[in-house]
């Protein structure tokens, strides 16, 4: 698994909306939108499978970060 930072918050379900997170990882504070996801790395883009997509939707709906989805303001 690799950490990816969102670069296009308008399209959080698209692989091209993410870039590998730098070091140190971004500071994710808040609960309104996706900040980072943990996913399998495929050529520098995350593999967003059904399980991860479901986790992303749950995190956004409950405004609560999870093991693989961190939210920000």
The residue ranges of every structural domain in the chain are 1-7+36-73
- The C-alpha angle with vertex 59 and arms to 63 and 39, in degrees rounded to 5, equals 140
Q: Give the predicted TM-score (pTM) of the model.
A: 0.94
* pLDDT tens digits along 20-66: 999 998 999 989 999 999 999 999 999 999 999 999 999 999 999 99
Check pLDDT > 90 for residue 73: no
Cα separation, 6 vs 20, in Å, equals 9
Cα separation, 39 vs 44, in Å, equals 11
């Amino acid at each position: 698994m690799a950490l990816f930072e969102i670069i296009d918050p308008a399209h959080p379900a698209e692989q091209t909306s993410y870039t590998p997170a730098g070091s140190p990882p971004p500071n994710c504070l808040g609960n309104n939108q996706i900040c980072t996801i943990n996913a399998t790395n495929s050529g520098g883009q995350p593999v967003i499978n059904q399980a991860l997509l479901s986790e992303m939707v749950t995190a956004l709906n409950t405004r609560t970060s999870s093991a693989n989805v961190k939210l920000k303001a």
